[in-house]
């Protein structure tokens, strides 16, 4: 597949990825906190794929955060470039599952996780 070298504003990337999950965020309902750099920042990336990856991370956080919970979306400049972090109040991932959850079609082993439908592709695609 072709990887594109697009220009996208960080704010636009965040808006697109968040908008893709807005219905689920509001239905649960969940509170999404955003901590973004104040200055405008243009990314050179495959905008469609990066938006999808971030959307997958947000979707995973929405899926495993209990109703009325909170999700944090943070972007910060680091020595290596830009770091985007998604945190939630979900059950977390057991240490024994950390290596496996990024494998396609794999899901963490827990009764809580088995309640949710999914193919185990969200994190590997992200």
Are 54 and 84 part of one and the same domain? yes
Residue 9 lies in domain: 1-90
Are 10 and 66 part of one and the same domain? yes
126 residues of the chain, pLDDT tens digit each: 899 999 999 999 999 999 999 999 999 999 999 999 998 899 999 999 999 999 999 999 999 999 999 999 999 999 989 999 999 998 887 788 777 766 665 565 555 445 555 555 455 555
Rounded distance, CA 3 to CA 13, Å? Answer: 17
Are 1 and 33 part of one and the same domain? yes
Are 50 and 23 part of one and the same domain? yes
Are 105 and 81 part of one and the same domain? no
State the total domains in the chain. Answer: 2
Instruction: Please report, for the domain that includes residue 40, its CATH number.
Output: 3.30.565.10
Looking at residue 91, what is its pLDDT?
A: 82
Looking at residue 69, what is its pLDDT?
A: 97
Are 85 and 58 part of one and the same domain? yes
Are 84 and 104 part of one and the same domain? no
Are 58 and 42 part of one and the same domain? yes
- Per DSSP, the chain holds a count of helices (H) and strands (E) of 5, 5
């Amino acid at each position: 597949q072709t990887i594109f070298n697009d220009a996208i504003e960080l704010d636009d990337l965040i808006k697109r990825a968040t908008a893709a999950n807005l219905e689920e965020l509001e239905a649960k309902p969940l509170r999404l906190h955003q901590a973004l750099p104040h200055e405008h920042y243009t990314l050179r990336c495959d905008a469609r794929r990066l938006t999808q990856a971030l959307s997958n991370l947000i979707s995973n956080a929405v899926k495993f955060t209990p109703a009325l919970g909170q999700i944090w979306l943070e972007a910060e400049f680091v020595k290596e470039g830009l770091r985007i972090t998604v945190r939630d109040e979900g059950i977390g991932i057991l240490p024994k599952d950390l290596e496996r959850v990024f494998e396609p079609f794999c899901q963490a082993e827990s009764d809580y996780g088995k309640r949710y439908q999914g193919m185990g592709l969200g994190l590997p695609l992200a």
